[in-house]
Amino acid sequence: MLHEKWRGEKTAIICDGETLSWQAFGEASNRVANALAAAGIQHGDTIVVAMENSIEMVEVLFGVLKAGCVSAPLNLTVSDDALAMMIGDSQAKAIIVSENQRARFANLIEKGAGLRLIALGASDETWAGYEDWKSAQPASPPIADIAPDDLLNIIYSSGTTGQPKGIAHTHLSRLDWAYDLAVALRYHGGARTLCTLALYSNISWVMMLCTFLAGGTLIVTRKFDAGEFIEKTETHRATHTALVPVQLRRIVDHPEFSPNKVASMSAIMSCGSPLHAELKKRIFKTFPAGVIELYGLTEGIATTLDPEEAEGRMASVGKPLLGTDIKIIGDDDRPVAAGQAGEIVGTGRIVMPFYFNRLDEAEKAIWRDGDGRAWLRTGDVGRLDEDGFLYIVDRKKDLILSGGQNIYPSDIEAVLLDHPCVTAAAVVAAPHDEWGETPFAVVETLDDADEEEITGWANEKLGKRQRLTGLKIIEALPRNPNGKILKRELRASLFPECSQ
């Protein structure tokens, strides 16, 4: 990073009142890279990073990058079994953890595995203390011969349900990804990016790489709180952020929210799950900058809807990034005409080269066109309008097949969200003796909501085959840390006989 030379005194990172200049950040990440080399970690080795948001975590992620090693940042909210699987799958040679994760990860590590173990805090009989381990090494740039196709990181796709897959990215694909996203999301040297999501998340990598590419300042919070987001935006004059829809809703619903307090925001990215048109319209009315909705996969496909093109297209997720192309294919794997729904496939320079240790899974995810060119299957159903704007219809695996007819849960969820008491909704397939499957809704609501009233209200507005066979109000829908509703987990809890 040449910013440490030419922007040395400018602030690179802020977290909980602590700041690092670009020069200090460069030196700290150099020390991490040199410490890895001194510990015998080789070029291309994987380092598991199991840390909570902090300046140290950013140092580690970029120190691993500088060393020519591969970071595998893990989601700390998943089960111990899932973490153990990911550690083994990544073929890690070292693990770096937050201080409060020491005991948990010590229990997960296979005895005799020969892993280097580093933790924030003081050294003990199991863990090397991070500060002493890092500070013992020089701050000079590490000697690492990094090729464009060398792996940079592995982002695990799940771990909450199902078998996690390691999505591999190279140095070149991540650089291209940062270039393309920085243009689409309007990053610049004066960017002050407020990052409230866990740093293992691919959404946070958007913020980190785009901010650092442009030479801006990254403002990291330990966790998301709507009131804190409003306060930090105003205090730090934040210009950029990336949020998931549930966060956006909590921000605009917060009693301290006002457009004046977030007026410094010039680019807000929404991603991770659908931003329903009703909420999108509300954001445009209350945030001066509006919102840039991004549809994308960690595997490397992305579209964005520019605020200037949102009028009349509030349900769209825009057009592909520069360097990315998409098509819509039908059940027969042939491209469909504009306006017709089918699976979204994409190709471009930012698509992952493979799933780590799962080359067979990567091949299953490929569709090849008439020229033999490889396109990544998304598993999402969408359509393109006559002007080339993409609209997401639903997840292919979430489709409800009722009496031979495809029913899209998102259509029903959009109706439910129009009810004045419903704040969040998920529709899943319920088993049915006659029709095979029928829609069943689970919703979060305001106080004093009534299940029968909401069901009747929705069914009056839905088509005959779309009508709900049942509805349940719960306090909180199951979500992953990025706010995406976990429908597989939800359906398994409601209809365990269908998960066998």
The CATH number that applies at residue 144 is 3.40.50.980
Residues 6 or more apart in contact with residue 25 via CB below 8 angstroms:
4, 12, 13, 58, 59, 62
pLDDT surpassing 90 at residue 51: yes
User: Which residues are registered as beta bridge partners of 377?
Assistant: 345
Residues 6 or more apart in contact with residue 179 via CB below 8 angstroms:
213
Q: Rounded distance, CA 214 to CA 238, Å?
A: 15
pLDDT the model gives residue 306: 95
- Strand ranges inside 256-410, DSSP E: 267-270, 292-297, 301-305, 316-320, 324-329, 342-348, 355-356, 366-368, 374-384, 390-395, 400-402, 405-407
**Lowest-confidence region among 318-332, 333-347, 461-475:** 461-475
Indicate the pLDDT class of residue 69, thresholds 50, 70 and 90: very high
Number of separate domains in the chain: 3
Indicate the pLDDT class of residue 500, thresholds 50, 70 and 90: very low
pLDDT surpassing 90 at residue 157: no
pLDDT surpassing 50 at residue 160: no
- Does the residue 482 lie in any domain? yes
- Does the residue 327 lie in any domain? yes
Q: Rounded distance, CA 383 to CA 403, Å?
A: 24
pLDDT the model gives residue 1: 62
pLDDT surpassing 70 at residue 159: no
Task: Confirm if 54 and 28 have CB atoms less than 8 A apart.
Answer: no
Residues 6 or more apart in contact with residue 308 via CB below 8 angstroms:
none
Q: What is the pLDDT of residues 210-237, one digit of tens each?
A: 999 999 999 999 999 999 999 999 999 9
The residue among 207, 200, 287 whose CA lies nearest residue 252 is 287
- Does the residue 458 lie in any domain? yes
pLDDT the model gives residue 162: 52
Tell whether 334 and 255 lie within a shared domain: yes
User: By CB neighbour count within 10 A (0-12 exposed, 13-18 middle, 19+ buried), where does 486 fall?
Assistant: middle
CATH number of the domain encompassing residue 276: 3.40.50.12780
Domain edge (last residue) among 127, 144, 164: 164
Indicate the pLDDT class of residue 132, thresholds 50, 70 and 90: very high
Indicate the pLDDT class of residue 499, thresholds 50, 70 and 90: low
pLDDT the model gives residue 112: 56
Task: Confirm if 294 and 267 have CB atoms less than 8 A apart.
Answer: no
Domain edge (last residue) among 371, 394, 417: 394
Q: Rounded distance, CA 466 to CA 452, Å?
A: 17
Q: How many CB atoms lie within 10 A of CB 327?
A: 16
CATH number of the domain encompassing residue 458: 3.30.300.30
Tell whether 344 and 290 lie within a shared domain: yes
User: By CB neighbour count within 10 A (0-12 exposed, 13-18 middle, 19+ buried), where does 225 fall?
Assistant: middle
Tell whether 156 and 261 lie within a shared domain: no
Q: Where are the alpha helices (DSSP H) in 113-262?
A: 130-135, 171-184, 202-214, 226-236, 245-253
Range 353-362 average pLDDT: 85
Tell whether 147 and 228 lie within a shared domain: no
The residue among 1, 365, 322 whose CA lies nearest residue 176 is 322
- Does the residue 170 lie in any domain? no
**Considering the chain, what percentage of its residues have pLDDT values greater than 70?**
97
More confident residue, 144 or 408: 144
Tell whether 290 and 386 lie within a shared domain: yes
Range 246-262 average pLDDT: 93
Tell whether 285 and 380 lie within a shared domain: yes
pLDDT the model gives residue 109: 86
Tell whether 79 and 225 lie within a shared domain: no
Backbone dihedral region for residue 101 (phi beyond 0: left; psi -120 to 50: alpha; all else: beta): alpha
Tell whether 122 and 198 lie within a shared domain: no
Provide the domain limits for residue 246.
192-394
Residues in the chain: 500
pLDDT the model gives residue 68: 97
- Does the residue 50 lie in any domain? yes
Tell whether 385 and 411 lie within a shared domain: no
pLDDT surpassing 90 at residue 304: yes
Q: How many CB atoms lie within 10 A of CB 392?
A: 21
Q: Rounded distance, CA 94 to CA 38, Å?
A: 13
Indicate the pLDDT class of residue 255, thresholds 50, 70 and 90: very high
Q: What is the pLDDT of residues 265-279, one digit of tens each?
A: 999 999 987 888 888
Domain edge (last residue) among 147, 164, 181: 164
Q: What is the pLDDT of residues 362-421, one digit of tens each?
A: 788 899 999 999 999 998 999 999 999 999 987 778 888 786 677 888 889 989 999 999
- Does the residue 454 lie in any domain? yes
Q: Rounded distance, CA 230 to CA 262, Å?
A: 7
From residue 243, alpha-carbon distances to 94, 159, 220, 292, 354 in Å are 31, 21, 13, 10, 27
pLDDT the model gives residue 53: 97
pLDDT the model gives residue 216: 97
pLDDT the model gives residue 485: 85
Tell whether 61 and 149 lie within a shared domain: yes
Tell whether 269 and 406 lie within a shared domain: no
pTM: 0.86
The residue among 97, 45, 243, 71 whose CA lies nearest residue 166 is 71
CA end-to-end distance (rounded Å), the chain: 51
Amino acid present at 92:
A
Range 292-312 average pLDDT: 94
Tell whether 32 and 133 lie within a shared domain: yes
- Does the residue 179 lie in any domain? no
**pLDDT averaged over every residue in the chain:** 91
- Does the residue 174 lie in any domain? no
pLDDT surpassing 90 at residue 464: no
Contacts 24+ apart (CB under 8 A), 311-316: 313/389, 314/277, 314/280, 314/281, 315/277, 315/391, 316/385, 316/389, 316/390, 316/391
